[in-house]
Amino acid sequence: MSHDPNCIFCKIVLGQIPSRKLHEDDELIAFHDIHPWAPVHFLLVPKLHIPSMAQVGPEHAALLGRMMTLAPQLAFREGCRPYPEGGFRMVVNTGADGGQEVPHLHLHVFGGPRPWLKG
């Protein structure tokens, strides 16, 4: 797997920085956000260093599909209420204008009673 030695998420993937892990397999890691915006707020991160959605290519399609199918499983396991009354929100920030703070592709998963209304 490709890693960036200066990337905080690559350091989490390698176990150099601790995290509160929810899931880990050969391709993905999921962990709680250190500054949660919602009762449920975790990040789903590929172990492969991809700087952002802007660098995703056709070779990443299966990886992105795994992220999108794993996110709901983890959201419900973490306490999100079932659809349609409950649910969750998934966000991928891309680049400076998109609000991306860490240059490593990651999916935010938020859950709870409309926590994003805070801002």
Q: Answer yes or no: is 2 within a domain.
A: no
Q: Please check the confidence at residue 115 and state whether its pLDDT lies above 90.
A: no
pTM exceeds 0.75 for this model: yes
Position 114 in a domain: yes
Please tell me the distance from the alpha carbon of residue 1 to that of residue 85, in angstroms, as a whole number: 39
The pLDDT tens digits for 5-53 are: 999 999 999 999 999 999 999 999 999 999 998 999 999 999 999 999 9
Question: E strands within 25-76?
Answer: 28-32, 40-46
Could you tell me if residue 30 is inside a domain?
yes
- The 10 Å CB-count burial string (b at 16+, else e) for 45-69 is bbbbbbbbbeebeeebeebbeebee
Q: Is residue 64 part of a domain?
A: yes
Residues 6+ apart with CB under 8 A from 77: 22
pLDDT of residue 118: 58
How many domains does the chain divide into? 1
| Residue 92 belongs to domain spanning | 8-118
The model's pLDDT over 62-114, given as tens digits with 9 standing for 90+, comes to 999 999 999 999 999 999 999 999 999 999 999 999 999 999 999 999 998 76
> Looking at residue 104, which CATH number applies to its domain?
3.30.428.10
Q: Is residue 1 part of a domain?
A: no
The strand pairing partners of 110, in sequence order, are 41, 89
Residues with catalytic function: 106
